[in-house]
Amino acid sequence: MIPGPVEATIKPTNHDLGDFEVRRALPSKHRRMVGPFIFVDEFGPARLPPGGGMDVRPHPHINLATVTWLFEGAIDHRDSLGTFSTIEPGQVNLMTAGSGIVHSERSPENDRTGGPRMFGMQTWLALPDGKEEIDPAFEAVENLPVIEDGGARAIVIMGDLWGERATTTTYADTIYAEIVLAPGGQLPIDSPADERALMVVDGEATLDGEELPLYWLVVIKPGDAPALRSEKGARVMLLGGESFSTKRHVYWNFVSSDRDRIEQAKEDWANGRFPTVPGDEEEWIPLPDKPKTVTYP
């Protein structure tokens, strides 16, 4: 066994979108999931050109929940349930796709004049067995628990951590937190979750003295309670939860334990059988021939 608290390190795949970069750590060839997290994207920090903005046209999801968390900037979310929500730092947006949902993500109009800021995380949670086809839903949660101790400040986004619990809905045991360390700050990573991982998104940090590479996903050994520390200051994401015994497949924006279900979703989207997004009906993303995110065939 490799000494130290680290079980694996995953270098993200970079996607250059012109005005900003997206770094995708999951799924990877080396690891498909950490707890229920099956997709982990970090984007920015960046400032888009004045007059421009992010415009992710309407697209579908099934059998998963998306979690959007921002450090800077804002995103207008619309979905086929009729939801409109402006995502801002300190608020978690949880969109449950379940049996199927369509949504769009765009920079707010009032941010475009000066050039929108983009810095945050988008992750997908696979829904557990028996809950993959639940009804679609959406929630935006504020007033999340904050823990402050010894030069460390942590926001609990999902689940139970350091004696506090977020009110955000979870379908499987899930932990998710943003940790900000002041110079010399430290915090124990002592959650008993089956699987846990860290990603430094700003600054420098170590885990029991072992350096954590910027933007890499670092998987922690089960049962260990290592110390996260920073000499100069850092922002670090902690994520994980219960391990899944049933394999999940990914194709484009679809996640499922059943490949046939994904094939059906592909056919449904290509033939216009998904619902539309009120207020954003004119555009959509076509089904790609070769998606960037795929774990089969």
Residue pair 101/81 in contact (Cβ under 8 Å)? The answer is yes
Burial of residue 269 (CB within 10 Å: 0-12, 13-18, 19+) is buried
Asked if residue 61 belongs to a known ligand binding site, the reply is yes
Asked if residue 88 belongs to a known ligand binding site, the reply is no
Asked if residue 30 belongs to a known ligand binding site, the reply is no
Residue pair 68/42 in contact (Cβ under 8 Å)? The answer is no
Question: Helices (DSSP H) in the chain: which residue ranges?
Answer: 109-112, 259-270
Which of 50, 42, 72, 82 is closest to 215 using CA atoms?
42
| Residue 102: φ, ψ to 5° | -125, 140
CA distances from 5 to 55, 129, 143, 218, 230 (A): 40, 30, 32, 10, 16
Asked if residue 105 belongs to a known ligand binding site, the reply is yes
Q: Which residues are documented as binding site for Fe cation?
A: 59, 61, 103, 105
**Known binding positions:** 59, 61, 103, 105
